[in-house]
Structure 1
Amino acid sequence: MERNQEIRYTEIEKTDAYIYDKVEMKVRVEEIYEVVIKDLDGISFIKRAVAPYIKDFSGHANYKRWNQQFDLSNWHFFMAFDGEKPVGGAVLCCNSAELHMLEGREDLGILWDIRVDSAYKRRGVGGKLFDMVMKKAKGLGLCQLKIECQNNNVPAAAFYFKQGAHLGAVNRYAYYGDADEEVQFLLYLNIEAAGV
């Protein structure tokens, strides 16, 4: 286990992963990247302010649901604790044929989820969890990490780009029919180039 001030970080066993759901996954949205596609003439990303709201991913992104839907054999769970309180988490997936996001590649991992309790944001918790995912991915022999992000999570996109990720795909219809009609960004990070 490693320490960052009073926060304790560790990889947890899948048998203990139910505690992952104790960490909220709320994002305050104040701006979005509006995606303007001009046929084959190019794509523009325009940062635009919106009326602030809270996006809560907890109902869709949680261990209980994943455990019912997927084989978690090749999933790795990382947690941050303040004392006994879980305050952050991250999930790395790899070598799972059922996950289409892995593109059938054995050298690709997915940052399936990363979250930090609102009271602990901007304290380096997300960065430390991300570093743990990257070290694990390298140790598993993965060459690249794939990350899904939405156009209404501007802080997350900025964080991933700061880590060295690059935009690999934009899908305006990934969440077709959802109330807020988010745009999916798929980011890729070359693990060796990240200097892990």
Structure 2
Amino acid sequence: MGKDTVIHYVEIDKSDASVYDEIEMKVRVKEIYEVNGNGMDGITFQKKKVSPYTKDFTENANYKRWKRQFDLENWNFFVAFDGNRPVGGAVLCSHSSELNMLEGRADLGVLWDIRVDSGYKHCGVGQRLFQLVKDRAENLGLIQLKIECQNNNVPAVDFYFKQGAHIGAVNRYAYYGDKDAADEVQFLLYVNLYPGIHN
């Protein structure tokens, strides 16, 4: 991304958001948040270096798949464009009884997905997309955003913390049946959208 590049951000029509699938979703893993401790003594989180590898979510997390699995009526899609090229995206879900992540709450939204092309990371694209999601959530009358993340996506976890997120739950066995992710730990993060909501 050049210094003179101008990125345009738009909310796209969910009836045909296939352009979303043109945005890669790769995570370079160099460290993890190691989770230690059990029981009433609490748990601790510590960054631990690991042998670097790349995790590619592009084929498994995409509009084409979501359209087959879910009713997208109350989903909002945001895309960042460099010219005609989509380079980042984010998805907000709310008011969807079929989504367990929403906990049956009408005041909760889920940041279902956020991604930035590798060549555009660390340039403010993710920050702007996150703000668009927050603005839309507030316009919908939501009071919290919920985000699922894994302990091997340290840059994302740190990014969400910078946005004011706090950990609501840790599940060591969320992906136990998935051979590609069985060792990963699920973090459920929450961002309060209005003052007065306690962390």
> With structure 1 as the length reference, what TM-score do the two structures score?
0.94
Q: Percent identity?
A: 66
- Matched residues in 1 for 2:113 and 2:187: separation? 14
Check if 1:160 corresponds to 2:182.
Answer: no
User: In the alignment, which residue of structure 1 is the partner of 2:186?
Assistant: 184
Deviation of the 1:16 alpha carbon: 3.0
- Matched residues in 1 for 2:139 and 2:170: separation? 29
Deviation of the 1:59 alpha carbon: 1.8
- Matched residues in 2 for 1:144 and 1:128: separation? 18
User: In the alignment, which residue of structure 1 is the partner of 2:41?
Assistant: 41
Deviation of the 1:5 alpha carbon: 5.3
Farther off after superposition, 178-187 or 88-97: 178-187
Q: CA RMSD in A?
A: 1.4
CA deviations 1:82-124 (Å, max 9, x no partner) are 0000000000000000000100000000000000000000000
Give the 4+ runs in structure 1 shifted more than 2 A. Answer: 177-180
CA deviations 1:43-70 (Å, max 9, x no partner) are 0111100000001011221000000000
- Matched residues in 2 for 1:101 and 1:167: separation? 15
Q: How does 1:122-141 map to 2 (within 5 A)?
A: 122-141=122-141
Contact 2:31 2:152 in 1 (8 A): yes
Farther off after superposition, 56-65 or 135-144: 56-65
User: In the alignment, which residue of structure 1 is the partner of 2:98?
Assistant: 98
User: In the alignment, which residue of structure 2 is the partner of 1:70?
Assistant: 70
- Matched residues in 1 for 2:37 and 2:158: separation? 21
> With structure 2 as the length reference, what TM-score do the two structures score?
0.93
Amino acid at match of 2:180: A
Farther off after superposition, 93-102 or 179-188: 179-188
